[in-house]
């Protein structure tokens, strides 16, 4: 089981939350990016998903700080949630993110995505 933090106030996040929980993982949904550091100091997460629009409020240095503040002993992957995969992923990666994941995904895509992180957590 993974503990996943999702930072989004986008209505499209709710199917992702439901699907991740249906796979037996725990999800903490945070609506305000300003509370992110405090949440990471008090909790341990295996994966962080952040809405692409909210990523613009975070500099590259802040993204690296999030990994530093994380209570996880390993480097926590931080993935940007995007409306579609046409979003320039290079811009996201340059900002220090581990990758991108689309809101408009297939269930198979989510299963494959989650299985990758489950192997990293063990």
12: Cβ contacts below 8 Å, ≥ 6 apart: 83, 103, 104
In angstroms, rounded to a whole number, what is the distance separating the alpha carbons of residues 105 and 113?
10
Q: Residue 14 — very low, low, confident or very high, per pLDDT cuts 50/70/90?
A: very high
Q: Is the pLDDT of residue 21 over 80?
A: yes
Give the CA distances from residue 83 to residues 50, 62, 105, in Å, rounded to whole numbers and listed in that order. Answer: 12, 23, 10
Across 30-39, 57-66, 91-100, least confident range: 91-100
Q: How many residues does the chain have?
A: 122
Question: Whole-model pTM?
Answer: 0.84
Whether the Cβ atoms of residue 33 and residue 50 lie closer than 8 Å to each other: yes
Question: Are 46 and 3 in contact, with CB atoms under 8 Å apart?
Answer: yes
Domains and CATH numbers, the chain: 3-106 (3.40.50.2300)
How many CB atoms within 10 Å of residue 107? 11
* Per-residue model confidence as pLDDT tens digits over 66-96: 777 666 656 788 888 888 776 555 566 657 7
pLDDT of residue 25: 93
């Amino acid at each position: 089981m993974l503990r996943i933090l999702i930072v989004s106030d986008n209505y499209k996040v709710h199917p992702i939350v439901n699907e991740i929980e249906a796979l037996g993982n725990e999800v903490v949904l945070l609506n305000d990016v300003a509370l992110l550091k405090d949440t990471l100091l008090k909790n341990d997460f295996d994966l962080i998903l952040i809405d692409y629009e909210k990523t613009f409020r975070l500099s590259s240095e802040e993204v690296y700080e999030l990994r530093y503040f994380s209570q996880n002993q390993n480097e926590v992957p931080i993935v940007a949630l995007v409306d579609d995969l046409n979003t320039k992923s290079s811009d996201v990666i340059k900002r220090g993110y581990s990758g991108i994941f689309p809101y408009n995904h297939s269930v198979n895509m989510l299963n494959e995505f989650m299985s990758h992180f489950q192997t990293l957590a063990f």
